[in-house]
Amino acid sequence: MKRIRAKSSRAEQAYTLVCDLQQRFVTKLNAISKKYGKDKSYEPTEWFRDEGKHGGGVRFMATDVSLFNRASVNTSQVHYDDDATKQLASASAISTIIHPKNPLAPSVHIHISWTEMKNDNGYWRVMADLNPAIEFAEDKTLFANKLKQAAPQQYAEAEPQGDRYFNIPVLGRHRGVTHFYLENYTSGNFDADLKLARTVGEAAIDTYCDILSAALEKRTSPTEADYKKQLDYHTLYFFQVLTLDRGTTSGLLVHNQNDVGILASLPSHINRPLLVSWKPKMPVPQDQLLQKMIDCLPSKDVCPVEDDSKQALANCLRKHYQAHPEAIDMQASGNTVPPTVNNHLKSVA
């Protein structure tokens, strides 16, 4: 089986970029495993959209469980060059989340994508956010400063936009401690925007690897209480991704050929009673969604999130939003005014 690539030259350049960033990150993470862990490399898994006719992707998953709770570095390109009924021409992306095993080392999320429409319009989504279970001020400052240096003209827009996107209203907090997000971004100069995406991606990857290495070098004695804080934070991460993240929801609604891959970033375990305790805070119909999510999980307080649960969760989210399409507008948006359901689905369908 072969993945057919998009025909557009801009899509080709964007796909080259995300593959370069994937290789850069995986190489650095493998080096960290060699120095601080069991020297076990990330392993690739390939997936195909419509048997490769409309593209697909590759995700690299962590195998060194001595260092990583759950981690994946995914690239994909989906296109509809042969389907005149689709407004979307192609979407090329890297999406990655790293959850270290050590609770004193932060998680990171990075997403960079180029979406091209058949009317020749196109836009970037550029995201990078640091997500610690236990905050260290020096990590936050370093990550934010490096992104500010990478995008000095865009940072004033990207920081508050990220704060809006990763806000969790019912819990009165954010998912991470520093956020960078350019949503539907274009300056009108594709070459300049491509360069910006590369610069931000490389800065986020390199800075995170420096932060992770320093944490593994210095913070070597986490306590039982630290691991409890991490479990609770992973529950918050699980909750935010599955109830608020538009990218996750749209990926699951568009097709069902990479469900486990789309949810590959979920942490290995969550605090099930804590998740249950948030149900009364949820508005209708999202309270129903949360209950259905809980029903997909094993009945254990320290609850594992394995591939069978991910598949069940993917099916659960799809059915919920097909039954309640208006609920998509209750999800996160970096804009002050969220897009309508129809406009959002048009951008990805």
DSSP-assigned letters across all residues of 264-286: TTS-SEEEHHHHHHTGGGPPTTH
Distances (CA, A) of 98 to 28, 74, 114, 205: 12, 11, 22, 11
Q: Is residue 340 part of a domain?
A: no
Q: For residues 181 and 114, what is the distance between their CA atoms, to the nearest angstrom?
A: 14
- Helix axis angle, 137-150 relative to 155-165, nearest 10°? 130
Q: Is residue 166 part of a domain?
A: yes
Take residue 282 and report the two structure tokens written for it. Answer: 């949820």
Q: For residues 100 and 65, what is the distance between their CA atoms, to the nearest angstrom?
A: 9
Q: Is residue 214 part of a domain?
A: yes
Q: Is residue 238 part of a domain?
A: no
Q: Say how many C-beta atoms besides its own lie within 10 A of residue 219's C-beta.
A: 15
Enumerate long-range contacts of 169-176, CB under 8 Å, 24 or more apart.
Answer: 170/278, 170/281, 170/282, 170/283, 171/236, 171/239, 171/278, 171/281, 173/236, 175/129, 175/131, 175/236, 175/237, 175/240, 176/109, 176/129, 176/130, 176/131, 176/132
Q: For residues 308 and 297, what is the distance between their CA atoms, to the nearest angstrom?
A: 9
Q: For residues 184 and 101, what is the distance between their CA atoms, to the nearest angstrom?
A: 34
Take residue 36 and report the two structure tokens written for it. Answer: 């601080």
Output the pLDDT for position 333: 78
Which residue in this structure is represented by tokens 């995914």?
Answer: 74
Whichever domain contains 82, its CATH number is: 3.40.1500.10
Q: Is residue 241 part of a domain?
A: no
Instruction: Tally the domains of the chain.
Output: 1
Per-residue pLDDT of the chain (349 residues; tens, 9 = 90+): 899 999 999 999 999 999 999 999 999 999 999 999 999 999 999 999 999 999 999 999 999 999 999 999 999 999 999 999 999 999 999 999 999 999 999 999 999 999 999 999 999 999 999 999 999 999 999 999 999 999 999 999 999 999 999 999 999 999 999 999 999 999 999 999 999 999 999 999 999 999 999 999 999 999 999 999 999 999 999 999 999 999 899 889 988 999 999 999 899 999 999 999 999 999 999 999 999 999 999 999 999 999 999 999 999 999 999 999 999 999 987 665 444 333 333 233 2
Give the type of residue at 57.
Answer: G
**Residue 83: what are its φ and ψ, rounded to 5°?**
-125, 100
What 3-state class would DSSP assign to 337? coil
Q: Is residue 315 part of a domain?
A: no
Q: Is residue 16 part of a domain?
A: yes
Q: Is residue 299 part of a domain?
A: no
The range of the structural domain enclosing residue 130 comes to: 9-223
